[in-house]
Amino acid sequence: MKRCIVLGKPNVGKTLLVLGLADYMKVKDIDISFVDPGGVGYSRKYPIDVAIRELVGALPHQTKCLQSLTLEFRAGKGKKTVELIDTTGLIEQIHDDPLTRKAMAQTLSAIRGAQIVIHVIDAHQAGQASLSSQLTETDLDTQLAAFAGPRGGYCIVANKMDLPGAKRGLSRIRRSFTGYKVIPVSAATRDGLKEVRRHVLCNL
């Protein structure tokens, strides 16, 4: 089965994107497999609304391990499946909590095993910076795009498009990441998830 990894900075909406996509694809009960940075795993079945309530949070580093679920796509008479992997948010600095550091290392090593990469950037936050400024080479998002972008199946999701200033943020993201596919999304309202679904399906 092909793997699709969802990554980005903390709090950009990775977990809500993953669960929102499952919801958009009409998954009622989701089976989530958790694998911690030490390799210990377990799984749990949730109604989608409970998963959103328990796994999405406003504080950074809510997700501290790999959380994956399987999505099925109808393709002609058969079906195609993908493992969708939610990850720990990445930061430029060395985090002072050893467990979070390990979880970030786990995110980075999981990139190599994925055929599809969804890089989430918060468009609302990008809209707060001055419009003329572009991201520098040392910015984590620039580095992630340079690392994961040349591989097939890569796209940027500009999330939180429902919030004020996000359109401005989307322009800034498009200017800073020319040559990459950028999909505007609101994981909260589910707008744009059709295009995300199409991106995943096209790369299966």
Measured CA to CA, the distance from residue 57 to residue 89 in angstroms comes to 12
In angstroms, rounded to a whole number, what is the distance separating the alpha carbons of residues 140 and 146?
A: 10
Instruction: Check binding of 57 to ligand GTP (CB under 6 A).
Output: yes
3-state secondary structure of 57: coil
One-letter amino acid identity for 112?
Answer: R
- The reply to whether 184 sits near ligand GTP by the rule CB under 6 A is no
**Least Cβ distance, residue 80 to ligand GTP (angstroms):** 25
Question: Is residue 160 within the footprint of ligand GTP (CB under 6 A)?
Answer: yes
The separation between the first and the last C-alpha atoms of the chain, rounded to the nearest angstrom, is 9
Count of residues near ligand GTP by CB under 6 A: 22
Binding span for ligand GTP by CB under 6 A among 91-99, 106-114, 159-167, 174-182: 159-167
Is residue 174 close enough to count as binding ligand GTP by CB under 6 A? no
For position 107 contacting Mg ion by CB under 5 A, the verdict is no
Q: How far lies 93's CA from each of 45, 66, 89, 165, in Å?
A: 34, 20, 12, 27
> Within 13 Å of residue 65, how many CA atoms lie on the same side as its CB?
15
Binding of residue 87 to Mg ion (CB under 5 A): no
Q: How far apart are CA 150 and CA 176, in angstroms?
A: 16
Question: Looking at 97-105, 136-144, 155-163, 169-177, which segment touches ligand GTP (CB under 6 A)?
Answer: 155-163
If binding is defined by CB under 6 A, does position 94 make contact with ligand GTP?
A: no
Which of these ranges, 24-32, 67-75, 105-113, 181-189, lies near ligand GTP under the rule CB under 6 A? 181-189
Tokens of 95: 């985090």
Name the residues that contact ligand GTP, by CB under 6 A.
Answer: 10-16, 56-58, 60-63, 89, 159-160, 162-163, 186-188
